[in-house]
Amino acid sequence: MRSHRNLVIGAMLLAVALVAAACSSGGDTKDGTPIIVGSANFGESALVAEIYAQALEAEGYTVVRKLNTGNREIYATALEAGELHLVPEYVGSALSFKGGVPTANTDSTTSDLRAAWAIDGVTVLNPALAQDKNGFVVTAATAADLGLSSVSDLAAFNGTLVFGGPPECPEREFCLPGLESVYGLSFAEFKALDVGGPLTVAALEGDEIQLALLFTSDGVIASKGFVLLDDDKGLQPAENVVPVVLTSIVDEYGTSFTDVLNKVSAKLTTADLTLMNKLTGYDGEDPVQVAADWLKSVGITK
């Protein structure tokens, strides 16, 4: 889940990475409170926050960036205190953080998150189609050779494949126990590697393992041409990307503000996010430019 990835990718980056204010080049600048946009301290979160920031700037809002704010405990506290106004979140992990129990159903998980966070003055907007959650991945060659497209397809090869993932996987309900109880799967061996990182990728490429746990929007999937199997029985909780906003900002600006962010959510898919993660994380492209190019490609900016 997202909390693991936060630790792996950048839990030590607790300082603010960027503080900037900018006004839109399109339309009149809106009077009111500058929107302070924050993010968690890993690349995907900062990228989505940059997308939100540019979309708002294009509509005349003044934006202050405080990206790479820290882990969830830091940025959620800052949001509730009014030190941040807008951050990207993941519905399942956020609900768990607020004491709820997420499910694979995006609508119910989002509804529960809205109720849980409203108490603390935070408004949860529309979730995107894009999700970043635990995913089960094979190479393109393995998918073709075995005819795999969904996790259920693995049952035909029970006891023959090697599964690799985080060391804690055998104890986590959404990892090995879930594969066993929900899908009825068994494996020749489980190899303890890392949390969706280079050890797992190398083992999958080298055929030391045939099934790997990676994150569904990780750019390495697109970069390496891996195949993400469909979680057709809904083992993983919903982890849709969602903008969460200080309610006082929503009250100040109204639907003209929330509509901008909901338009982003309506366009952002897992495939888009995976490609942008590849461009920024593996191809070395500038996240600011990648965000700008995506916004133009989907017609949100000109």
Among 179, 199, 228, the domain boundary falls at 228
The partner residues of 237 in beta bridges, in order of sequence, read none
The answer to whether residues 14 and 97 belong to one domain is yes
- 107's CB contacts (< 8 A; 6+ apart) are none
The answer to whether residues 207 and 275 belong to one domain is no
The answer to whether residues 72 and 220 belong to one domain is no
In a domain? residue 233: no
> pTM of this prediction?
0.82
What range defines the domain where residue 173 resides? Answer: 134-228
Residues of the chain predicted below pLDDT 70: 1-27
> What's residue 27's pLDDT?
53
Number of domains in the chain: 2
In a domain? residue 111: yes
Report the CATH number that the domain containing residue 222 is assigned in CATH. Answer: 3.40.190.120
Nearest alpha carbon to residue 23 among 50, 49, 51, 62: 62
The answer to whether residues 101 and 21 belong to one domain is yes
Among 177, 194, 228, the domain boundary falls at 228
Output the furthest CA–CA distance in the chain (Å, rounded): 64
Measure CA 252 to chain center. 28
The answer to whether residues 204 and 71 belong to one domain is no
The answer to whether residues 151 and 112 belong to one domain is no
Q: CA Rg, the chain, in Å?
A: 20
The answer to whether residues 100 and 152 belong to one domain is no
> What's residue 1's pLDDT?
45
DSSP string for residues in 78-97? HHHTTS-SEEEEEHHHHHHH
Give Cα separations from 75 to 14, 67, 87, 279 (angstroms): 10, 10, 8, 26
Tokens standing for residue 219: 């750019």
